Amino acid sequence: MTQLHFNEAVYQCEPGESVLDALTRQGVSIPSSCRNGVCQTCMMQSADANVPSAAQNGLKSTLQAQNYFLACVCRPTTDMDISLPDSSDRLLPATVTALRQLNDEVVCVGLDCPSLPDYRAGQFINVYRDTGFSRSYSLASVPSDPYLRLHVRRLPAGRMSNWVHDELKIGDSLHISAPVGACFYLPGAAQQPLLLIGTGSGLAPLMGILRDALNQQHAGAIHLYHGSRDAAGLYLVDELREMAAQHPHFHYTPCVSGGSASSIHQPGRAVDVALAAHPDLTGWRVYLCGNPDMVKSARKKAYLAKAAMNDIHADAFVRVAAANQ
pLDDT of residue 148: 97
- Structure confidence at residue 118 as a pLDDT band (50, 70, 90): confident
Region 46-58: what's the mean pLDDT? 92
Q: Percent of the chain having pLDDT more than 90? A: 71
- Identify which has the larger pLDDT, 94 or 188: 94
Q: Percent of the chain having pLDDT more than 70? A: 93
d(CA 87, CA 141): 25
Q: Average pLDDT of the chain? A: 90
Q: Which of 271, 299, 89 is nearest to 197 (CA)?
A: 271
Which ranges of 138-291 would DSSP assign to H, the alpha helix?
159-166, 203-215, 237-246, 270-277
The 10 Å CB-count burial string (b at 16+, else e) for 268-291 is bbbbbbbbeebeebeebbbbbbbb
- Identify which has the larger pLDDT, 203 or 181: 203
pLDDT of residue 323: 37
d(CA 95, CA 99): 12
Region 133-146: what's the mean pLDDT? 92
Per residue in 284-311, pLDDT (tens digit) is 999 999 988 899 999 999 999 999 998 9
Per residue in 195-251, pLDDT (tens digit) is 999 999 999 999 999 999 999 999 999 999 999 999 999 999 999 999 999 999 999
- Structure confidence at residue 37 as a pLDDT band (50, 70, 90): confident
Torsion of CA 323, 201, 170, 87, to 10 degrees: 60
Torsion 118-194-218-110 (CA) sign: negative
Segments making up each domain of the chain, as ranges:
2-85, 88-181, 194-313
Whether the pLDDT of residue 62 is over 80: the answer is no
d(CA 98, CA 317): 25
d(CA 104, CA 91): 31
Region 171-176: what's the mean pLDDT? 95
Domain spanning 88-181: which CATH class is it, in words? Answer: mainly beta
Beta strand residue intervals within 14-147, DSSP E: 43-46, 68-70, 80-83, 92-101, 106-112, 124-130, 133-138
- Contact criterion met (CB below 8 Å) for 129 and 163: yes
Whether the pLDDT of residue 318 is over 80: the answer is no
Per residue in 38-50, pLDDT (tens digit) is 888 899 999 988 9
pLDDT of residue 324: 42
pLDDT of residue 261: 57
Q: Which of 39, 28, 35, 38 is nearest to 6 (CA)?
A: 28
pLDDT of residue 320: 52
Whether the pLDDT of residue 163 is over 50: the answer is yes
pLDDT of residue 260: 63
- The CATH label, of 3.40.50.80, 1.10.1060.10, 3.40.190.10, 3.40.50.2000, for the domain at 194-313 is 3.40.50.80
Whether the pLDDT of residue 319 is over 70: the answer is no
What is the C-alpha end-to-end distance of the chain, expressed in Å?
Answer: 29
3-state class (DSSP) for residue 24: helix
- Contact criterion met (CB below 8 Å) for 149 and 100: no
Region 163-189: what's the mean pLDDT? 91
Q: Dihedrals φ, ψ of 263, to 5°?
A: -70, -15
Residue type, 54: A
Q: Does domain 2-85 have CATH number 3.20.20.10?
A: no
- Contact criterion met (CB below 8 Å) for 286 and 311: yes
Rg (alpha carbons) of the chain, rounded to whole number: 21
3-state class (DSSP) for residue 201: helix
Whether the pLDDT of residue 12 is over 90: the answer is yes
Region 183-199: what's the mean pLDDT? 93
- Which of 66-70, 78-82, 261-265, 272-276 has the weakest average pLDDT? 261-265
